Structure 1
Amino acid sequence: MTSPMTLTVDPTATAPALTLRPWQDSDIPVVVAAHRDTVMRRWLMRSLDDEDQARAWLADLDAGWAAGTALSWAIEQDGTVVGSFVVKAANPPKTLATGVGYWTVAEARGKGIASRCVEAATEWLFNGQDIMPADEIELLHTVGNDGSCRVARKCGYALDSVLAPLPPEFPDYGHRHLRKRPS
């Protein structure tokens, strides 16, 4: 059983530190508000419409921690939740490697938050932790999600393949970006 933990993303010259912390029940209103954003909903596998669905989502996240299959955090900047970040264990044939995923609230997009979290998590996964060891990490997104494609490239994740749709969970083509542990 894996216990939730906190990760810190260092500040930059132009941006404050970020904290990746376990989700809390008090975050439910932020989650529901974020999921009302039509831009974000377009790319999500699971959209949440109300507090009951958000509560169920948080219970699923807790189950992922307990099973060691998905480590999920709220991204916090200056005391405000600005997004979500997850590290998922490989789950063949859907995912062939450890994966990272994220979303940010509308006000936080385009500020480098997702790429800073991906980079920090990549370093954490590759450098000595024993919770979810990884030799390669994949970043999957729907074709057309240009923001996620930019994050992948910025963080050194090469486009590995174009994935065919797998309805109903993945109704559109996808990109699989991959980064391997440095030798």
Structure 2
Amino acid sequence: MDNDPRTTTPEAGPLLLRPWLPEDMAALIEAYRDPAMRAMLRVLVTDEAEARHWLRVQQEGRESGSRFSFAVIDRDLDDELVGNVALKYPAPGSAGAEVGYWTTARARGRGVAPRALKALTDWAFEAFAGDGLVRLDLLHQADNDASCRVAEKSGYGFAEVVPARPPWPRDGHRHVRLRTGHVR
């Protein structure tokens, strides 16, 4: 595996996690048309201008080392975009960071999210072990039962209910995964 977090492309079977590209714009806009996904995300992408901005934010995060967002591509489906996984704000010397994900409507129920999240998790613990990363948090709205299942399948144990606060209108759940061999 490539050790430079800015250029790495983790894999999980037919799934490839690669940096977002400008040519992903149409697939990104299409993914955000899904009402179920829109209900769970803070940032919406409805047109080309918003998609360009979203893609630019992902690129800037990667370049600064503050966010590593990956387009999840299914090579068994002619390189179709099936989701996104992201590692947010892994600051050097910080023991923890946050992960997030979404999947396209067509990809749900096929195990894409847990496989992609496991690949991201393994990569993050390897890439940032030297910086002291030992804990990853996954946050989601409390009424998102599917995300609870994805968290559990990916080795993220339930940690606590997080009270609602802007921009989230409802309580949430925090799930935690520790680097293998690390105890709290």
Question: Do structure 1's residue 177 and structure 2's residue 179 form an aligned pair?
Answer: no
Equivalent residue letter for 2:146: G
Residue matched to 2:140: 141
Q: Runs of 5+ in structure 2 lacking a partner?
A: none
Q: CA RMSD in A?
A: 2.0
Question: Do structure 1's residue 80 and structure 2's residue 80 form an aligned pair?
Answer: yes
Instruction: Please state whether the residue corresponding to 1:127 is helix, strand or coil.
Output: helix
- 1:21-63 Cα deviation digits (max 9, x unpaired): 1111111111111111101101011111111101001111111
Q: Deviation at 1:129?
A: 4.6
Question: Do structure 1's residue 25 and structure 2's residue 22 form an aligned pair?
Answer: yes
Q: For residues 21-60 of structure 1, what are the structure 2 equivalents within 5 Å?
A: 21-60=18-57
Equivalent residue letter for 1:156: G
After superposing on structure 2, the runs of 4+ consecutive aligned residues of structure 1 that deviate more than 4 Å are 128-133
Structure 1 contact 89–132 (Cα < 8 Å) conserved: no
Moved more, 80-89 or 127-136: 127-136
Question: Do structure 1's residue 166 and structure 2's residue 168 form an aligned pair?
Answer: no
Structure 1 contact 32–48 (Cα < 8 Å) conserved: yes
Equivalent residue letter for 2:84: S
Instruction: Please state whether the residue corresponding to 2:120 is helix, strand or coil.
Output: helix
Instruction: Please state whether the residue corresponding to 1:165 is helix, strand or coil.
Output: coil
Equivalent residue letter for 2:21: Q
TM-score (norm 2): 0.86
TM-score (norm 1): 0.86
Q: Distance in 1 between matches of 2:65 and 2:129?
A: 11
Structure 2 contact 114–151 (Cα < 8 Å) conserved: yes
Q: Distance in 2 between matches of 1:33 and 1:132?
A: 37
Instruction: Please state whether the residue corresponding to 1:120 is helix, strand or coil.
Output: helix
Residue matched to 2:61: 64
Residue matched to 2:11: 9
Distance change in 2, residues 1:36/1:59 (3 Å): same
Q: Deviation at 1:125?
A: 2.0
- 1:145-178 Cα deviation digits (max 9, x unpaired): 11111011111211111001112x2221110000
Q: Deviation at 1:9?
A: 2.2
Equivalent residue letter for 2:9: L
Q: Deviation at 1:122?
A: 1.5
Distance change in 2, residues 1:63/1:128 (3 Å): closer
The percent of aligned pairs where both chains have the same amino acid is 37
* Matched positions, count: 172
Q: Deviation at 1:7?
A: 2.2
